Structure 1
Amino acid sequence: MTIYLPIAELPVNIFALLALGIAVGFISGMFGVGGGFLMTPLLVFLGVPPAVAVASVSTHMAASSLSGTLTYLRRGQVDIPLSLVLLAGGLTGTLTGVVTFRVLRSFGQLDLIIAIAYIVLLGTIGTMMVVESLRALAREWRGEKSTVKRPGAHPWFLRMPFKMRFRESRIYVSVIPVVTIGFAIGFLGALMGIGGGFILVPALIYLLRVPTLTSVGTSLMLTLVTMVAAILMHAVLNQTVDAVLGLVLMVGGTVGAQFGARAGQTMKAENLRLLLGMLVLAVGLRVAWDQIARPADLYVVHVSERTQ
């Protein structure tokens, strides 16, 4: 069954979109990520324009994050005070990202910037997560205990002024780096169509030392709010949100996230990090390959918005 996407100007099979939404929703709920880092490139591979893919994927991430957030809230694995501080920077970053998106699109450089950003971010973070997870698993296989750092041995940026105690995460840190992390996640989410969970979860674990499952639940809540904001801003400022595409992805994402969140609860933290790192790295390599591979059409006529 084929449907027509009015904003993307593309006919697609509705069942293929539903399957895509369910699969990425499952990954979103399982790893605590918005899934946009995977969904956006997949939609581009299907022929959806990058600008429409970035804006429309926000609807899928909002729906799948809502489902996953409810699951983690019921289990008491969401640090609400930490989420609110992250949101203070996240919403500001979202607005900044939407405005930057609009400027780059007007100059015709949006597609290139998105591709380069995906390659750098996914390649770097995926490699770091895989290496760290393999080291942790190797220590476990050798029967070595993980080195637990003393609570007071925080990096310098966590000892900055305006400290807060987050009881659920069992940390006492400055809000300045927390707000900065939130801003970066909101900015990247709006500009690249990613929920930022694949960045936020490692940041919470390795920088702020938040427990893994609490990091996942808190990441989902931040993704939910920032993606709802991104949908509204993209729809008003850029008119690139395809409601039909977003609705189909939302239905599939909501279903998949429920099963993913339950599956994630049964896996060890080290295995979760390793699988997520491998997935992030694989998508980054695929995006890089698409940039250097010989295109099917060697010449493309593009009309810039500035000349219309």
Structure 2
Amino acid sequence: MQIYLPIAEVSVNVFLLFGLGGMVGILSGMFGVGGGFLITPLLFFLGIPPAVAVATGANQIVASSVSGVLAHLKRRTVDLRMGTVLLAGGLIGAGLGVWVFNLLKEIGQVDLLVRLCYVVFLGVIGSLMFVESLNALRRSSKGGKPKRRHHGWVHGLPFKMRFRTSGLYISSIPPLLVGLSVGVLSAIMGVGGGFIMVPAMIYILGMPTKVVVGTSLFQIIFVTAFTTMLHAVTNYTVDILLALVLLIGGVIGAQIGTAVGTRMNAEQLRIALASLVLLVCGKLALDLFLTPGDLYQLGAQ
């Protein structure tokens, strides 16, 4: 059944959109990512303009993340204090990212920027995660004990805070910078930023994997909601009908993903996420080099 999207100005299959939202919701619950790194490129493939895909994709992430957080709160695997520090940096970064997005939109380079950002970030993060996860899986299969965390540069910074749920006593500066980076990416790429934040929380901040997922989703909710609001007010690129269909599928999928994720160990979760990131990156990179089906596009002068 086809529906017409008024802001995107295209017709798409409603069941395809619903399934897309459900799939992203499952990823949200399993990995602690908003799923924007997947849903936004897939919307590109369906013919949704990048500017609309970025703004509307961020809107859908809010719903799936809320659903996932509620499930994690019941299990007490959300570090609210860490999430608040990440959120403070994220809101600042989102405002900065929307300003950059609007600037590039005015000069007509936003579509290329969004696609290039996806290829670069997904390629780098996916490769690093995949290699590290394989090493961790190999160590666990040999029965070796996991390496103890050593005090690094993070522990030598000032303005320390105690994060009891994560069992950490570290500076508040690294979480702020991680949140700031994720906020910028959220605004420019239409992502929750979990595909960067989750590895950063594990390998830079030293948080336990079981706490990372819920805490990541907590921060994603507010940053993506703020990003969506800014895009709606400044760019008018949020398609409510598209967001609604994706939202319904995302809420249902997040509950399924949370239940599945609790049955998998940390190494399996990370290697599955890394593989998915690399697949999406490869498809986007290929599209940049292939000749498009429509070589010309009519636009208003």
Please, what TM-score do these two structures have when normalized by structure 1?
0.96
Query: What letter is aligned with 1:96?
Result: L
In 2, Cα distance between equivalents of 1:254 and 1:59: 12
- CA offset at residue 240 of structure 1? 0.5
Match of 2:141 in 1: 141
Q: After the TM superposition, which residues 13-24 of structure 1 pair with which residues of structure 2 at under 5 Å, given as runs?
A: 13-24=13-24
- CA offset at residue 139 of structure 1? 1.1
Q: After the TM superposition, which residues 184-199 of structure 1 pair with which residues of structure 2 at under 5 Å, given as runs?
A: 184-199=181-196
Q: Deviations over 1:177-197 (max 9, x none)?
A: 110100101110111011101
- CA offset at residue 27 of structure 1? 1.1
Q: After the TM superposition, which residues 108-147 of structure 1 pair with which residues of structure 2 at under 5 Å, given as runs?
A: 108-147=108-147
What is the aligned-residue identity percentage? 52
- CA offset at residue 158 of structure 1? 3.5
Alignment of 1:297 onto 2:279 = no
Match of 1:173 in 2: 170
- CA offset at residue 155 of structure 1? 1.9
> RMSD between aligned alpha carbons?
1.0
- CA offset at residue 302 of structure 1? 4.3
Query: What letter is aligned with 2:175?
Result: V
- CA offset at residue 143 of structure 1? 2.2
Match of 2:151 in 1: 154
In 1, Cα distance between equivalents of 2:189 and 2:272: 22
Match of 1:87 in 2: 87
Q: Deviations over 1:136-188 (max 9, x none)?
A: 11112222222112xxx322134211000101001111111110100101110
Q: Which moved more, 1:140-149 or 1:209-218?
A: 140-149
Question: Does the CA-based 8 Å contact 1:163-1:175 persist in structure 2?
Answer: yes
Alignment of 1:240 onto 2:237 = yes
Question: Does the CA-based 8 Å contact 1:158-1:177 persist in structure 2?
Answer: no
Question: Does the CA-based 8 Å contact 1:18-1:249 persist in structure 2?
Answer: yes
User: Which SS does the other structure have where 1:144 is aligned?
Assistant: coil
Q: Deviations over 1:208-248 (max 9, x none)?
A: 11011200000000111111111111110111000110111
Off by >6 Å, runs of 4+ in structure 1 = none
Question: Does the CA-based 8 Å contact 2:154-2:204 persist in structure 1?
Answer: no
Alignment of 1:28 onto 2:25 = no
- CA offset at residue 60 of structure 1? 1.0
Query: What letter is aligned with 1:161?
Result: P
In 2, Cα distance between equivalents of 1:156 and 1:12: 50
Query: What letter is aligned with 2:72?
Result: Y
Query: What letter is aligned with 1:243?
Result: I
User: Which SS does the other structure have where 1:12 is aligned?
Assistant: strand
In 1, Cα distance between equivalents of 2:126 and 2:20: 22
User: Which SS does the other structure have where 1:154 is aligned?
Assistant: coil
Match of 1:11 in 2: 11
Question: Does the CA-based 8 Å contact 2:93-2:182 persist in structure 1?
Answer: yes
Match of 1:223 in 2: 220
Please, what TM-score do these two structures have when normalized by structure 2?
0.98
Question: Does the CA-based 8 Å contact 1:59-1:247 persist in structure 2?
Answer: no
Question: Does the CA-based 8 Å contact 2:154-2:205 persist in structure 1?
Answer: no
Instruction: Please list every run of 5 or more consecutive structure 2 residues that lacks an aligned counterpart in the other structure.
Output: none
Query: What letter is aligned with 2:211?
Result: T
Question: Does the CA-based 8 Å contact 1:162-1:176 persist in structure 2?
Answer: yes
In 1, Cα distance between equivalents of 2:156 and 2:246: 42
Question: Does the CA-based 8 Å contact 1:90-1:185 persist in structure 2?
Answer: yes
